[in-house]
């Protein structure tokens, strides 16, 4: 028989601080799965294509920073233990995506976005507020966010050069995982957000993608 450890509020704040550091500090995250890019061949790309792919992967990396913050914020304020556990498990899976994107960015000779701390703080706050409102809203926000991520991944997959099989393998696995997270959140009782809310989320996502493509 196993017992579940109960953390004090201070313990949880310290855990959140540790998660933030592991998310934002370069090469500090440890993936649970190896990158799908490992088994794919290296490809020669033009300088222009290399810069473009690096920009796309930088956007996806920042998206994963936001996902980490969102889940951590929701886990902090979730009311039901099983919802908190689900958020923490999803955050663990997103670490894989975070590290895969970071590795690929550096393989392309580029850098992650300097705006990541700003977006982490904003996303953490949104997640925490959603969790305070209700677990149903929190889960619904996860589903809506993941659907938005899948839309971006599809757009990026269409823009990748045909020869860049490494980036493609990463984004395709990310899409599979994000779709699963979205459906799991809805199956757990997540609220289906109306179109106007989704439109507002889409506008915020555009701000993130436009700003992090180069910086």
Contacts of 207 (CB under 8 A, 6+ apart): none
- 92 is known to lie in a ligand binding site: no
3-state secondary structure of 57: helix
**Cβ count near 5 (within 10 Å):** 6
Query: Which DSSP category does 33 fall into?
Result: S
- 181 is known to lie in a ligand binding site: yes
Contact (Cβ atoms closer than 8 angstroms) between residue 87 and residue 78:
yes
Q: How far apart are the first and last CA of the chain?
A: 50
- 179 is known to lie in a ligand binding site: no
Q: What is the C-alpha to C-alpha distance for residues 74 and 148, in angstroms, rounded to an integer?
A: 18
Query: Which DSSP category does 42 fall into?
Result: P
- 152 is known to lie in a ligand binding site: no
- 163 is known to lie in a ligand binding site: no
- 97 is known to lie in a ligand binding site: yes
Known binding-site residue numbers for Fe cation: 64, 94, 97, 146, 178, 181
Known binding-site residue numbers: 64, 94, 97, 146, 178, 181
């Amino acid at each position: 028989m196993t017992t579940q450890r109960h953390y004090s509020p201070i313990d949880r704040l310290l855990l959140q601080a540790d998660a933030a550091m592991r998310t934002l500090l370069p090469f500090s995250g440890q993936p649970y799965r190896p990158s799908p890019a490992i088994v794919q061949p290296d490809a020669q790309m033009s300088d222009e294509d290399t810069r473009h792919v690096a920009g796309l992967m930088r956007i996806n990396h920042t998206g994963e920073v936001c996902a980490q913050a969102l889940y951590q914020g929701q886990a902090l304020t979730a009311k039901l233990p099983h919802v908190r556990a689900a958020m923490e498990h999803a955050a663990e899976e997103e670490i894989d995506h975070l590290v895969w994107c970071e590795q690929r960015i550096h393989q392309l000779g580029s850098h992650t976005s300097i705006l990541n701390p700003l977006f982490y703080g904003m996303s953490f706050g949104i997640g925490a507020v959603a969790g305070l409102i209700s677990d149903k809203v929190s889960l619904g926000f996860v589903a809506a966010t993941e659907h938005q991520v899948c839309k971006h991944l599809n757009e990026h997959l269409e823009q990748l050069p045909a020869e860049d099989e490494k980036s493609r393998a990463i984004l395709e696995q990310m899409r599979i995982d994000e779709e699963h997270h979205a459906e799991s959140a809805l199956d757990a009782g997540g609220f289906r957000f109306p179109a106007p809310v989704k439109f507002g989320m889409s506008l915020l996502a555009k701000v993130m993608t436009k700003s992090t493509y180069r910086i």
